[in-house]
Structure 1
Amino acid sequence: MAPTLLNAALGALLAAALLGPAFDRRSVAVVVAAALLPNLDAVASLAIAGATNALAHNVWVPIALAGLLYWDTALRDRSVLRERYGWRGVRIGWVALAGFALAGIAPDLFAEPGVSLLYPVENVYYVVDGLLLFSTQDGVVQTFVSTTADAPGVLPFESPGTTETHAVPTWVNPDGRPGLALGSERRLVLVDAGWQAVVVASAVASLAVRFRPWTRAGTEAAPEGSVKETSR
């Protein structure tokens, strides 16, 4: 599982980039919390076998949330979210969803130990491990899209196992199996690679700049005409 600090940093970067005039401490907290939510399946693994990186890391949860948000904000005659929180609520809702999927789930999909994307329909863990480079001899080399007749497809999925054979250790559940494992060593990893430290530092710098008074002037409320108000 990706370090929780990395999920929070990626969520903060998305908040700084996408919230626009809805940016403030509360909205940032909502987006960062959404980025951390998928990690709660590690707690569920204490009771449910194979729940880590599966129960909340599958594609069905963000798809269902996106469908619910779209139905409420675009299809209904009266949007509950818009009526209660206005345009800010809609903006924050979509950015929080991006935080959940891109900052909470994606980091585990593109690195070991992988995620069970189709859980509970399928219990296989998947990892996307590809490359894109330019060679002076071979030109552009990429492995994200396969064009061969025997294995066509998009994204180089690899499988380290299933929820039955592949245990994902976490600080909450060191052996990845049901039970408290009270005698096991617990290690809380903050960052486990240099690039992750760079992401965390970038998130801190981005928030520091966005919260400076001269960058927030005029953003406490949406400028007239910047957000189209609709009564649904």
Structure 2
Amino acid sequence: MPSTLVHVAVGGLVGAALLGRWFDARSVGVALVAAAVPDLDSFTSTLLPGSHRALLHTLLLPLALVAVIAYDTQVRDPERSVIRGRWGTRGVVVAWVGVAALLCGGIFPDLFTNGVNAFYPLHDAFYSINGHAEWSSTRGFVQTFVELQPASSPPPTTETLHYSTVVDPSPGAEPENVERVAPLASSGTELMLIVLGAGVVGGRLFSERLRGRAE
């Protein structure tokens, strides 16, 4: 299960890639925070069982944000646009990058590992895009990401699936001696992403500072 550090690292990579000339500590900070937002639903699972990986991991969240930003910046009169009126073109760019960081950094790492409730609350079911793809000299191209055969059992729902978190390690009441584990990096790939994200964002910030001094 990707840790919040992994989500933030991927969000930083998205910000570094998309912000362009608007990249600075504040704008990339928006991307980092946006990537961490979905994991806040780990705090709601104690009040709303099963809501982790559902409440803020639904794909409907970035879709709703896209609709709001598009209306404010593209449909609405430019003079009445909240984002343009307060932050100008820079604000529009940062807003779109924030949504991209939320989707790619906050939701995708979980969707592409052990799953999210992708269409919650309209459709209560956890889905994951996980498997392998390979070419075999005897079987040809083989992939398990998309299963063409009907599933033998229905996908899990918020009532049947619980993701263990440091806030809510197990369903129901916790025993006094419960172990709470906060994952940092669960694999070499996750550690690589954390180091890569920190290195790229740190490098961009350092280079922008040097360029500012030169100018």
Asked if TM exceeds 0.5, the reply is: yes
Provide, for residues 2-28 of structure 1, a one-character-per-residue CA deviation record: whole Å limited to 9, x for no partner. Answer: 201100100111111111011001111
Residue 61 (str. 1) matches residue 61 (str. 2): yes
**Unpaired runs of at least 5, structure 2:** none
Residue 206 (str. 1) matches residue 207 (str. 2): no
> 2:156 corresponds to which residue?
161
Residue 85 (str. 1) matches residue 87 (str. 2): yes
Residue 142 (str. 1) matches residue 143 (str. 2): yes
> 2:28 corresponds to which residue?
28
Q: Which amino acid aligns with 1:28?
A: V
Residue 184 (str. 1) matches residue 178 (str. 2): yes
CA RMSD of aligned residues (A): 2.4
What SS does the aligned partner of 1:217 have? Answer: helix
**1:70 Cα deviation after fit:** 0.8
Conserved 8 A contact 1:57-1:116 = yes
- Per the alignment, do residues 160 and 116 of structure 1 end up closer, same or farther by CA in structure 2, a change over 3 Å counting? same
Conserved 8 A contact 2:35-2:106 = yes
Q: Which amino acid aligns with 1:102?
A: C
**1:200 Cα deviation after fit:** 0.8
What SS does the aligned partner of 2:126 have? Answer: strand
TM-score using structure 2 length: 0.87
**1:144 Cα deviation after fit:** 4.1
More helix by share: 2
More strand by share: 1
Provide, for residues 96-128 of structure 1, a one-character-per-residue CA deviation record: whole Å limited to 9, x for no partner. Answer: 10111111011111112x111121122221111
Conserved 8 A contact 2:24-2:208 = no
What SS does the aligned partner of 2:14 have? Answer: helix
- Per the alignment, do residues 214 and 53 of structure 1 end up closer, same or farther by CA in structure 2, a change over 3 Å counting? closer
- The equivalences for 1:106-145 within 5 A come to 106-112=108-114, 114-144=115-145
- Per the alignment, do residues 216 and 63 of structure 1 end up closer, same or farther by CA in structure 2, a change over 3 Å counting? farther
**1:213 Cα deviation after fit:** 3.6
**1:182 Cα deviation after fit:** 5.3
Identical pairs, percent: 37
Which whole-Å CA distance do the structure 2 matches of 1:35 and 1:194 have between them? 21
Q: Which amino acid aligns with 2:92?
A: V
- Per the alignment, do residues 97 and 182 of structure 1 end up closer, same or farther by CA in structure 2, a change over 3 Å counting? farther
Conserved 8 A contact 1:175-1:181 = no
> 1:17 corresponds to which residue?
17
Which whole-Å CA distance do the structure 2 matches of 1:59 and 1:176 have between them? 25
What SS does the aligned partner of 1:161 have? Answer: coil
Provide, for residues 49-73 of structure 1, a one-character-per-residue CA deviation record: whole Å limited to 9, x for no partner. Answer: 1110000111211110011111111
Conserved 8 A contact 1:72-1:80 = yes
**1:136 Cα deviation after fit:** 4.0
- Per the alignment, do residues 64 and 181 of structure 1 end up closer, same or farther by CA in structure 2, a change over 3 Å counting? farther
**Unpaired runs of at least 5, structure 1:** 219-232
Conserved 8 A contact 1:173-1:181 = no
**1:131 Cα deviation after fit:** 2.5
